Amino acid sequence: MKTDVATCTGERNGACLTVAQKDVVARVFGGAHTAAGQRIYASFPYDTGVSGANWGTWKFVDSLIRDPLAIATIFSVPPMPLKPLEENVSQRLAMFSATNDTYRESGWSLMTPPGEAKPSNMAALRSRGAKVVMYHGVSDAIFSAEDTRQWVERLGQAGGNPGADFARYFPVPGMNHCSAGPAADQFDLLGPLVQWVEQGVAPQAVVASVRGAGNAGGVNTELPASWSAQRSRPLCAYPTVATYKGSGSLEDASSFACK
C-alpha cells in the first residue's frame, strides 16, 4: 500500500496520502496487537470494498457503539467500562480469560470449544457425512476474510479436509459485511451445498451477480458506474481465483474460469 498509493508532497488532492496517513491505514489493516506486539487477531485484506459505506460504518462507528458494551459486560471479568481511545489492550486481554467467585466462566471460554476440542478438529462432523460451505466478503470490516482463510488452511494442515472434500470457502471480492461494496453480492450457496451432500457434487464455481438497476431485491448504489447492471462473476472455491479466458464479455461470468 505504501508504494501503490502516491505519497502527498504538497496539498492533499484526493489522489495521494501523507506518510502519517499511510502508517495509520497500515495499522488498521494490520489487525489488533498488544503494545508488546502480540497478535490478537488476523490482518485485514487490502480490497476495493474499503470505499463502501458499510466498511466505514462498521469500522469507525459501530466499533464505538457496540464493541465497548460487549467487551465491558460480556467478555471482561470483572465487568468494567471500556474507554476505546484510552484502553490498555494488554490489561483488557487478560480479563477475557479471568474468572472470580461471582463470574465463574470467562468470556474466552464462553466463545471457545470445551476441553481438547479445537476449531480445526471437525472429525466428528465430517464422520457424519456433513459438508461445510462458507463465504466471506473480502472487504468485511468486522470479521477478517484472512481469518477465515487461515482457518481453512489449519483445517487442511490437521488432515481434516484432504482435497477440499469436506469444506469449501468462497471469498467474495469487494463485498463488505454480508453485502454491498463494489461487488457481485447476489449468489446461492445453499443449493450447491444441498447438491454436495445429497449427490456428491462438490461446488467449485458459483455464479454471482450484481444488484444493478431494476434488481428486484434492491439496487446496490455502490456499484461503479462503468459496470453493467447485469454483471456476473464466478465465485471460486479457495484457493482458485476467477481468471479471464481471454475472450468474451468482461461483464459475463462465462468469460472467466476458476484457476
158-176 pLDDT tens trace: 999 999 999 999 999 999 9
Distances (CA, A) of 51 to 42, 94, 105, 180, 181: 21, 35, 40, 10, 7
Residue 116 has pLDDT above 60, yes or no: no
**Mean pLDDT, residues 186-196:** 97
Residue 134 lies in a domain: yes
Residue 243 lies in a domain: yes
| Residue 163: predicted pLDDT | 92
pLDDT digits (tens, 9 = 90+) for 10-69: 887 888 999 999 999 998 899 988 888 889 999 999 999 998 999 999 988 988 888 899
| Residue 2: predicted pLDDT | 72
Q: Note whether 242 and 256 are within 8 A (CB).
A: yes
Residue 49 lies in a domain: no
Residue 112 lies in a domain: no
Q: Is the pTM of this model over 0.75?
A: yes
DSSP states of 71-138: HHHTS-SS-----TTT--HHHHHHHHS---SS--S-HHHHHS-STT--TT--HHHHHTT--EEEEEET
| Residue 11: predicted pLDDT | 83
DSSP secondary structure code for residue 225 in this structure: T
Residue 252 lies in a domain: yes
Q: Note whether 72 and 62 are within 8 A (CB).
A: no
The percent of residues in the chain predicted with pLDDT above 70, rounded, is 98
| Residue 204: predicted pLDDT | 97
Q: Residue 191 and residue 137: Cα distance in Å, rounded?
A: 19
pLDDT tier, 246 (very low <50, low <70, confident <90, very high otherwise): very high
Q: Residue 65 and residue 1: Cα distance in Å, rounded?
A: 29
Residue span of the structural domain in which 200 resides:
128-258
Residue 222 lies in a domain: yes
Q: Which of 90, 96, 92 is nearest to 81 (CA)?
A: 92
Q: Note whether 93 and 106 are within 8 A (CB).
A: no
| Interacting residues of 148 by C-beta distance below 8 A, sequence separation 6+ | 134, 136, 169, 171
| Residue 13: predicted pLDDT | 81
Domain count, the chain: 1
Residue 181 lies in a domain: yes
